Amino acid sequence: MSADLEVFFRVSLGAQFTIYAKPDRADNTYSPEYMGKMRGMISSIEQELKSAGVEQSNHRPDSDVAPEHWTYASYRNEHKSNRAGSSNQHKNLEAEPFFQLVSFSDSASGSSRSGTEHQTLLSPPWAR
Protein backbone atom coordinates (compact mmCIF):
# COMPACT_ATOMS: atom_id res chain seq x y z
CA MET A 1 0.00 0.00 0.00
CA SER A 2 1.35 3.45 -0.82
CA ALA A 3 2.18 5.93 1.93
CA ASP A 4 -0.58 8.26 0.71
CA LEU A 5 -3.18 5.50 0.98
CA GLU A 6 -1.95 4.55 4.46
CA VAL A 7 -2.38 8.15 5.61
CA PHE A 8 -5.82 8.33 3.99
CA PHE A 9 -7.02 5.16 5.72
CA ARG A 10 -5.50 6.11 9.05
CA VAL A 11 -7.21 9.49 9.04
CA SER A 12 -10.54 8.58 7.46
CA LEU A 13 -11.34 5.22 9.06
CA GLY A 14 -11.42 6.29 12.68
CA ALA A 15 -9.66 8.32 15.30
CA GLN A 16 -6.47 7.43 17.12
CA PHE A 17 -4.00 9.70 18.85
CA THR A 18 -0.63 9.02 20.46
CA ILE A 19 0.40 10.66 23.72
CA TYR A 20 4.00 11.87 23.91
CA ALA A 21 4.44 13.18 27.43
CA LYS A 22 7.13 15.75 28.13
CA PRO A 23 8.36 15.92 31.75
CA ASP A 24 7.31 19.13 33.46
CA ARG A 25 10.10 19.29 36.05
CA ALA A 26 13.69 20.47 35.66
CA ASP A 27 14.97 17.05 36.79
CA ASN A 28 13.16 15.40 33.83
CA THR A 29 10.39 13.85 35.95
CA TYR A 30 6.61 14.26 36.03
CA SER A 31 4.77 16.02 38.84
CA PRO A 32 1.61 14.43 40.28
CA GLU A 33 -0.36 17.47 39.09
CA TYR A 34 0.89 17.02 35.53
CA MET A 35 0.04 13.32 35.50
CA GLY A 36 -3.43 14.08 36.85
CA LYS A 37 -3.99 16.68 34.16
CA MET A 38 -2.79 14.31 31.43
CA ARG A 39 -5.08 11.57 32.72
CA GLY A 40 -8.04 13.95 32.81
CA MET A 41 -7.29 15.30 29.35
CA ILE A 42 -7.09 11.81 27.83
CA SER A 43 -10.34 10.80 29.54
CA SER A 44 -12.12 13.95 28.34
CA ILE A 45 -10.94 13.56 24.74
CA GLU A 46 -11.94 9.89 24.75
CA GLN A 47 -15.42 10.77 26.08
CA GLU A 48 -15.93 13.57 23.55
CA LEU A 49 -14.90 11.41 20.59
CA LYS A 50 -17.17 8.60 21.74
CA SER A 51 -20.10 11.00 22.35
CA ALA A 52 -19.63 12.47 18.87
CA GLY A 53 -19.87 9.00 17.33
CA VAL A 54 -16.32 8.98 16.03
CA GLU A 55 -15.24 5.48 15.07
CA GLN A 56 -12.26 3.86 16.75
CA SER A 57 -9.29 3.29 14.45
CA ASN A 58 -8.12 -0.25 13.89
CA HIS A 59 -4.69 1.11 12.94
CA ARG A 60 -2.97 1.76 16.28
CA PRO A 61 0.79 1.96 15.70
CA ASP A 62 2.74 -1.17 16.67
CA SER A 63 5.09 1.02 18.67
CA ASP A 64 2.37 2.26 21.04
CA VAL A 65 0.79 0.80 24.16
CA ALA A 66 -2.67 1.38 25.59
CA PRO A 67 -4.80 -0.06 28.37
CA GLU A 68 -7.99 -1.84 27.32
CA HIS A 69 -10.23 1.07 28.35
CA TRP A 70 -8.51 3.58 26.02
CA THR A 71 -10.49 3.47 22.81
CA TYR A 72 -8.68 6.21 20.87
CA ALA A 73 -5.48 7.04 22.76
CA SER A 74 -2.15 5.28 22.95
CA TYR A 75 1.20 6.09 24.54
CA ARG A 76 4.77 6.12 23.32
CA ASN A 77 7.94 7.46 24.92
CA GLU A 78 9.83 9.08 22.06
CA HIS A 79 13.14 8.76 23.93
CA LYS A 80 12.81 5.08 24.86
CA SER A 81 10.96 3.53 21.94
CA ASN A 82 10.86 3.49 18.17
CA ARG A 83 8.14 3.26 15.54
CA ALA A 84 8.77 -0.41 14.77
CA GLY A 85 7.68 -1.65 18.19
CA SER A 86 8.34 -5.03 19.80
CA SER A 87 7.02 -7.10 22.68
CA ASN A 88 10.01 -6.01 24.77
CA GLN A 89 9.31 -2.35 23.96
CA HIS A 90 5.65 -2.82 24.93
CA LYS A 91 6.64 -4.35 28.28
CA ASN A 92 9.03 -1.48 28.98
CA LEU A 93 6.44 1.18 28.10
CA GLU A 94 3.75 -0.53 30.18
CA ALA A 95 6.16 -0.66 33.15
CA GLU A 96 6.87 3.08 33.06
CA PRO A 97 5.45 4.82 36.16
CA PHE A 98 4.00 7.59 33.98
CA PHE A 99 2.00 5.11 31.90
CA GLN A 100 0.84 3.13 34.93
CA LEU A 101 -0.37 6.23 36.78
CA VAL A 102 -2.00 7.94 33.80
CA SER A 103 -3.66 4.87 32.32
CA PHE A 104 -5.44 3.21 35.23
CA SER A 105 -9.20 3.02 34.69
CA ASP A 106 -11.73 5.05 36.66
CA SER A 107 -13.23 1.83 37.98
CA ALA A 108 -9.82 0.99 39.49
CA SER A 109 -9.80 4.21 41.51
CA GLY A 110 -12.47 2.94 43.90
CA SER A 111 -14.76 5.89 43.27
CA SER A 112 -18.45 5.28 43.83
CA ARG A 113 -19.44 8.02 41.38
CA SER A 114 -19.74 7.49 37.67
CA GLY A 115 -17.53 9.34 35.19
CA THR A 116 -20.56 11.32 34.04
CA GLU A 117 -21.16 12.67 37.54
CA HIS A 118 -17.52 13.70 37.81
CA GLN A 119 -17.73 15.62 34.56
CA THR A 120 -20.80 17.56 35.59
CA LEU A 121 -19.34 18.47 38.99
CA LEU A 122 -15.77 19.30 38.06
CA SER A 123 -14.11 21.42 35.42
CA PRO A 124 -11.56 19.59 33.26
CA PRO A 125 -8.37 18.92 35.27
CA TRP A 126 -6.19 20.96 32.90
CA ALA A 127 -8.40 24.02 33.52
CA ARG A 128 -7.93 23.98 37.30
Cα separation, 88 vs 81, in Å, equals 10
How far is Cα 59 from Cα 2, in angstroms, rounded to an integer?
15
Nearest Cα to Cα of residue 42 among 74, 76, 10, 78? 74
Q: Which CATH number fits domain 3-127: 3.40.50.300, 3.50.50.60, 3.40.50.620, 3.30.2430.10?
A: 3.30.2430.10
Each residue's pLDDT expressed in tens, for the chain with a length of 128 residues:
677 766 665 555 677 889 998 889 999 889 999 999 999 999 999 999 999 888 888 778 888 999 999 999 999 988 877 778 888 989 999 999 889 989 988 765 544 444 444 444 445 555 55
pTM of the model: 0.69
